[in-house]
Amino acid sequence: MALLILLQPIFEADFDEGSFGYRPGRKAHQALDAIREQLRHGRTEVVDADLSGYFDTIDHAGLLRLVAGRVSDGSILRLVKLFLKAPIVEEKKGKRSYHKNDRGTPQGGVLSPLLANLYLNSLDHGVNDRPELDAKLIRYPFSAAFFSAAFTLRLTQSATGRQSRRASRARRIRSRSSPCGSI
């Protein structure tokens, strides 16, 4: 918990305003308000991405580079690395087995949500900081929604690079009315 208290303000300063998951002072209702705002602005083309398996696939080396970009203290970097490399413990029929952890963030780990947000931050900014896209990415814990008036999946992938390809089971929904039902 101490590591989270130390690191959270450092990375919160850089996080995109369209990111709502696992962030202090950010709630699901605010994400819904942001979605409504995009729909009111005529951004009714939606690319919905399911990120439910995302935490298990984060590349440790890439994530550690991102942390090192803002944190220079070697002892802190070492603690983050130890956190990421903690072995996976499974219990079956009263026997414990330990497995090497070479990717992902530990499930239920206090730092996992912060580190996952850090890893996705470049995706958030890759869409939201490019006015020529006329698009907005709204992200909540296990999903992301891209909103645009005229948007294609191909454009999204070129704008966000490698990380957009990691989003699993992306699907395109086209609608003239709210694709989110009665929100």
So what's the pLDDT on residue 141? 81
Residue 134 gets the label, from left (phi > 0), alpha (psi -120 to 50) or beta, of left
Report which of residues 101 and 151 the model is more confident about. 101
E strand or H helix at 137: strand 135-140
* Confidence band for 163, pLDDT divided at 50, 70 and 90: very low
Residue 55: DSSP 8-state: G
Torsion angle of C-alpha atoms 166, 57, 140, 22, degrees rounded to 10 = -150
24: its two tokens = 């202090």
Q: Model confidence over 6-26: pLDDT tens digits?
A: 999 999 999 999 999 999 999
pLDDT reading at 170 higher than 80? no
Contacts of residue 61, defined as CB under 8 A and 6 or more positions apart, other chains included, come to none
pLDDT reading at 165 higher than 60? no
181: its two tokens = 């039902």
Residues of the chain with pLDDT > 90, as a percent, come to: 61
Q: State the average pLDDT over residues 73-79.
A: 97
pLDDT reading at 68 higher than 90? yes
Q: Model confidence over 89-144: pLDDT tens digits?
A: 889 999 999 999 899 998 889 999 999 999 999 999 999 999 988 899 999 887 88
Q: State the average pLDDT over residues 157-180.
A: 39
Is residue 11 within 8 A of residue 134, CB to CB? The reply is no
110 phi/psi in degrees, rounded to 5: -65, -30
Is residue 15 within 8 A of residue 121, CB to CB? The reply is yes
Average pLDDT, the chain: 83
* Confidence band for 151, pLDDT divided at 50, 70 and 90: low
Quickly list DSSP for 85-134.
Answer: HPPEEEEETTEEEEE---BS--TT-TTHHHHHHHHHHHHHHHHHT-GGG-
Q: State the average pLDDT over residues 45-56.
A: 86
